[in-house]
Amino acid sequence: MDTDRIVLKDNERIDDLQRNGYGIIQNPERFCFGMDAVLLSGFARAKSGDRVLDLGTGTGIIPILMAAKTDAAHLTGLEIQEESADMAGRSVMLNGLEDKIDIVTGDIKEAVGLFDKSSFDVITSNPPYMIDSHGLTNPHSEKAIARHEIMCNLEDVISAAAALLKPGGNFFMVHRPFRLAEILTGLRAHKLEPKRMRLVYPFIDKEPNMVLIEANRGGKAALTVEKPLIVYKEPGKYTDEIYDTYGY
């Protein structure tokens, strides 16, 4: 990390990502990435030469982790919130990845106007999970926008992915199991065929709280359901697979 090039703003900090010496700038008063983003970066696949787009990149965690974990040729993060996009851009500089990662400030609903159609081999997204902003004290706060479908919804994300993926390209998303039926229906409606799915359980005896999905543009119908991913072997202690995903 080249910390000499980076100016931190109020309440910002640099967190070590435990991968390739990379770090990320975060502001805990705004929004910090969670386990879902880390698990998605481990679930997603990108080959040598692939162009990757992350829809709703936040502070750039997924492109930075995928730069460390894959041989992708180039990665782009699209983020609507200017402050988050600014942090993402500075994190790219922090890690010396300016030639490999671009951060674009823009709206997922307008992504087709920002990028050429059918131009990406891989698209990832960790979109807002909650259907509305009911009960939120500030629906325009960074945390609310990241968690609730305020600026975009599931349909916006899936339709953008379908338009921007190359034929045969793959879309990777993390979401909540309670919306699984809607997710699968939406993917197929946009000719993104679900190919791989993995449910994430906090403990082996609890219900799943995340689902990882891979879909292929124009693929044939055949869905592989992978073994469950268990996060904790006991309270406060991750399973070996989670430690490996985090790079500890």
Distance CA 198, CA 95 (A): 31
Tokens 């975060």 correspond to what residue?
Answer: 26
Single-letter code of the amino acid located at 221: A
Stated pTM of the model:
0.93
Q: Measuring CA to CA, how many Å separate 77 from each of 7, 70, 88, 118, 156?
A: 21, 16, 8, 16, 16
Show the domains of the chain with their CATH numbers. 3-246 (3.40.50.150)
Looking at per-residue pLDDT, the higher value among 247 and 135 belongs to 247
pLDDT tens string 89-140: 999 999 999 999 999 999 999 999 999 999 999 999 998 766 765 455 555 5
Mean of per-residue pLDDT scores for the chain? 91
